[in-house]
């Protein structure tokens, strides 16, 4: 629905009607902005890529690898390897339960800010939903992916706001290259499985899926 077609009724004639008019208009504008951001591939809360945009980027990268290192862009070097980082926050549910969802949203925004400043410009950071985030690292092998994941974990652990709420991250890393291109689902599943092990081993740590297991 366009804003021109939005029907607020006749002009407000009482303070109550004017207040209702303003609330209706603001609600529409917020929904309109959220829809526009969704179309642009942006998560409305954090400003990161959303799940759909991230999945598209991952598929394009793996397609380039499967096709023998085809360049992602003209005049760029062939893409032959990538790493995927899955960041699953620890103790986030307690923030919402104890301090409310508004404070929980503030924590997610802080995490997004830390992730975005912990990676290279070419890397893709996305919020999958809830307290789950992914980072796609083009041209990064398993070892390099682990280095970035460790950096992210330390930066999250050392943030004052996150420390206040005892929020850390269990992180999983998986990789693909021309010798083992994988598909998006498999690469995501491996990163998820590694993060699950990290969570089970005591949280706030990085685990790498080496291809044969963990």
Q: Residues 124, 54: contact at Cβ < 8 Å?
A: yes
Could you give the CA distance from residue 48 to residue 178 in angstroms, rounded to a whole number?
Answer: 28
The pLDDT assigned to 214 comes to 74
Q: Residues 20, 12: contact at Cβ < 8 Å?
A: yes
Q: Residues 89, 131: contact at Cβ < 8 Å?
A: yes
For residue 87, which of 121, 22, 132, 56 has the smallest C-alpha distance?
132
Say what the pTM is.
0.80
Beta-sheet strands, E only, within 46-167: 81-90, 124-129, 132-138
Q: Residues 133, 168: contact at Cβ < 8 Å?
A: no
Q: Position of tokens 């062939």?
A: 78
Among candidate residues 90, 131, 159, 192, the one labeled active-site is 131
Say what angle helices 184-200 and 51-66 make with each other, to 10 degrees. Answer: 120
What tokens does 183 get? 């598909």
Q: Which residues of the chain have pLDDT under 50?
A: 1-7, 29-30, 32-37
Largest CA distance in the chain: 71
Q: Position of tokens 């990676």?
A: 119
The pLDDT assigned to 24 comes to 61
User: Residue 212 catalytic?
Assistant: no
Say what angle helices 101-117 and 92-99 make with each other, to 10 degrees. Answer: 140
What tokens does 141 get? 């092998």
The pLDDT assigned to 76 comes to 64
CA angle 141, 81, 73 (to 5 degrees): 135
Q: Residues 30, 19: contact at Cβ < 8 Å?
A: no
Q: Residues 87, 48: contact at Cβ < 8 Å?
A: no
Helix (H) or strand (E) holding 207: strand 206-208
The pLDDT assigned to 13 comes to 73
Contacts of 201 (CB under 8 A, 6+ apart): 207
């Amino acid at each position: 629905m366009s804003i021109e077609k939005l029907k607020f009724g006749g002009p407000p004639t009482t303070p109550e009607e004017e207040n209702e008019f303003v609330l209706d208009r603001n609600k529409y504008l917020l929904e309109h902005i959220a829809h526009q951001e969704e179309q642009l591939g942006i998560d409305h809360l954090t400003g990161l890529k959303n799940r759909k945009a991230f999945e598209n980027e991952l598929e394009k990268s793996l397609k380039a690898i499967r096709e023998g290192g085809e360049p992602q862009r003209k005049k760029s070097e062939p893409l032959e390897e990538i790493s995927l980082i899955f960041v699953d926050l620890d103790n986030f549910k307690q923030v919402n339960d104890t301090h409310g969802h508004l404070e929980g949203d503030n924590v997610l925004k802080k995490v997004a800010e830390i992730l975005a400043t912990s990676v290279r410009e070419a890397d893709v950071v996305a919020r999958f939903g809830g307290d789950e985030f992914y980072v796609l690292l083009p041209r990064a092998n398993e070892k390099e992916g682990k280095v970035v994941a460790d950096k992210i974990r330390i930066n999250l652990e050392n943030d004052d706001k996150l420390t206040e709420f005892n929020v850390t991250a269990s992180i999983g890393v998986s990789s693909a290259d021309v010798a083992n291109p994988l598909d998006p689902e498999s690469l995501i599943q491996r990163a998820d499985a590694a993060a699950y092990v990290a969570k089970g081993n005591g949280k706030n740590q990085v685990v790498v899926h080496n291809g044969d297991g963990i």
